[in-house]
Each structure stands twice: as C-alpha cells, then as structure tokens.
Amino acid sequence: MASATDSRYGQKESSDQNFDYMFKILIIGNSSVGKTSFLFRYADDSFTPAFVSTVGIDFKVKTIYRNDKRIKLQIWDTAGQERYRTITTAYYRGAMGFILMYDITNEESFNAVQDWSTQIKTYSWDNAQVLLVGNKCDMEDERVVSAEKGRQLAEHLGFEFFEASAKDNINVKQTFERLVDIICEKMSESLDTADPAVTGAKQGPQLTDQQAPPHQDCAC
Ligand code: GDP
Ligand code: MG
C-alpha cells in the first residue's frame, strides 16, 4: 500500500525541495462520501472498492506543473475523525484550499455541507478557496441529490462546483487543478491589491507546518 508519495514513507518526495509553491489542501465532508478514495485516485491513480481504511494516513504529496510553476500539493485526508466531528483546529491551520465533498446518493451528506462550510469559515484562513464536489456520480440509479441542487448550494455558498467519481475517474484531476488555479488567482489578486494578509504574511497561512516555502510571492 505504501507508495513514494505517502507521508510516512515518502522521504524522497517530502524532502524534495524542487518546487515553486507548496499548497496545503484538505478534503472534508461526511464519513463514506469517498474522500480517501478520491485522494487515492488522484495521488496513486488507484481505486479500492472495499471500504478504505484511513487510519495512519496524514497526507499525500503530489507535485504538478501549473501556469509554468512547479506546485507541490500536500493533500490531507481525515483519519476518520469526521465521523465524530472532532477534526481539530490544527488540522485546518495553513490550509489554502478545500475540497468539500458529499455523496450524490446520500442526502444526509449533502445536508451536512452547510455545517462543513461553517467549519471551514470558522477555522481557516479567510482567503482559503473551496470547491464543492458531489462524488459517486457513476451511481446514477441511486442518485438522490440532483446536479442542479448541488450547483445551487455551491452558488449560495460562493464555491465552484463539480460532480465527480473516484471510482470511474471522472473530474478528479480537474477538481484538483481547478482548485490550484483558483488558489493561484487569489494569491496574485491579493498581491496586486497588496493585501497584507498575503504580502505581510502576518495573518496569512503558513504554507506548510513542515517547512518554509522557497518563495511566498506568487505570479502565477
Ligand atoms: P471516506 O470515508 O469519505 O474516506 O470514504 P471512502 O473513500 O472510504 O469510501 C467509502 C465507500 O464509498 C467505499 O466503499 C468506496 O469504495 C466507495 N466509493 C468511493 N468513491 C466512490 C465513487 O466515486 N463511486 C462509487 N460507486 N463508490 C465510491
Ligand atoms: Mg476516509
């Protein structure tokens, strides 16, 4: 199971300093919506049909090229704490982007989106970007949340919206890339307007808890 990108085993990757920016991204939402599957699909291009045990996974690292920049993504997955709503504030610290996920076959997970959104707004940096993702769109026959309802809620909350499937690999890469793009857009916007939250880095996020980024400015 361990791959070169696993946090515990990825000495090679995690000590790799060859990147322009590092973004901490969190995947949150109710238990069983497919967060761990979504992360595995993106980071390892794999899918395990059985319930994926999340125990022991802190984050995975994936480095991508976007806008001529090498961007290292540190993608965090909850280790089952979401079941008890006991995600600690430390987990949110420094996050620049969120994938807020529900399951299109599970109404309860959709109804919880508002609460998760409130948590994000309470515990994270003001400029953190959020994408709402309706996962399991391969299960059309069991759908209980229409795409339209998802879109409307996203609009109401001010988030962008995707339906996706970790199983069939639909919109997984697109979700992460769009999130990276809007984080970059926000960063350059903030720099343009000399927003002290970014330029002064006083109220801004620590790009990582682990190490200082090589550059804090962003021109992408
Ligand atoms: P988590 O609790 O949010 O991390 O959810 P998991 O990734 O553990 O997934 C919960 C269950 O949903 C597992 O049985 C997965 O195989 C299944 N699952 C996850 N994503 C999809 C998907 O896109 N389509 C389908 N059909 N099943 C999925
Ligand atoms: Mg999980």
pLDDT exceeds 70 at position 3: no
Q: Can you give the pTM of this predicted structure?
A: 0.81
Residue 93, pLDDT score: 86
60 occurs within a structural domain: yes
Mean pLDDT of all residues in 139-144? 98
**What is the pLDDT at residue 16?**
59
- Decide whether any atom of ligand 1 lies within 6 Å of the 129 Cβ: no
Q: Which residues are 28's β-sheet partners?
A: 100
Residue 203 is predicted with a pLDDT of 42
pLDDT of residue 219: 46
CA–centroid distance, 217 to ligand 2, in Å, is 33
Q: 108 is written with which tokens?
A: 């309860």
pLDDT of residue 47: 80
Residue percentage of the chain with pLDDT more than 90: 54
DSSP states along 67-92: TTEEEEEEEEE--SGGGGT---HHHH
Query: What is the reported pLDDT for 33?
Result: 96
Whether 13 maps to a domain, the answer reads no
61-83: average pLDDT: 85
Q: Is 9 domain-assigned?
A: no
Check residue 40 and give its pLDDT: 92
pLDDT surpassing 90 at residue 183: yes
**Contact 167 CB / ligand 1 (< 6 Å):** yes
Rounded to 10 degrees, the C-alpha dihedral 30/177/24/122 comes to: -50
Does ligand 1 have an atom closer than 6 angstroms to the CB of 180?
A: no
Residue 197 lies in a domain: no
Print the domain residue range for 138. 21-190
Q: Whose CA is nearest to atom 2 of ligand 1?
A: 32
Residue nearest to atom 10 of ligand 1 (CA): 32
> What is the Cα–Cα distance from 134 to 106, expressed in whole angstroms?
10
Residue 152 DSSP code: H
Evaluate if residue 161 carries a pLDDT over 60.
yes
- Give the residue with greater pLDDT, 52 vs 146: 146
For the chain, the average pLDDT equals 81
* 171: DSSP letter: S
In a domain, 10, yes or no: no
Asked whether residue 8 is assigned to any structural domain, the reply reads no
Written as one string, the DSSP assignment of 181-216 is: HHHHHHHHHHHHTT-HHHHT-SSS--S-SSS--S--
Does the CB atom of residue 37 touch ligand 1 within 6 A? yes
Q: Is residue 209 part of a domain?
A: no
Closest CA to 41 of 176, 217, 196: 176
Mutate to test the pocket of ligand 1, among 40, 52, 60 (most ligand atoms within 8 A of CB): 52
Tell whether 150 is covered by a domain: yes
Cβ(143) – ligand 1 distance below 6 Å:
no
Q: How many residues does the chain have?
A: 220
Angle at 130 between CA 19 and CA 150, to 5 degrees: 140
CB 42 within 8 A of CB 34: no
Helix, strand or coil, per DSSP, at residue 160: strand
**Percent residues over pLDDT 70 in the chain:** 72
Contact between 64 and 14 under an 8 Å Cβ cutoff? The reply is no
Structure-model confidence comparison of residues 107 and 94, the more confident one: 107
Q: Collect residues with CB below 5 Å from ion ligand 2.
A: 36, 54
What's 40's domain CATH number?
A: 3.40.50.300
Beta pairing partners, 73: 23, 62
Q: Whose CA is nearest to atom 14 of ligand 1?
A: 51
Instruction: Give per-residue pLDDT as tens, 199-210.
Output: 444 344 444 434
> How far away, in angstroms, is 28 Cα from ligand 1 center?
13
Could you give phi then psi for residue 117, rounded to 5 degrees?
-65, -40
Total domains in the chain come to 1
Confidence band, pLDDT 50/70/90 cuts, at residue 187: confident
Rounded to the nearest angstrom, the distance between the alpha carbon of 216 and the centre of ligand 2 is 31
* Atom number in ligand 1 closest to CA 39: 7
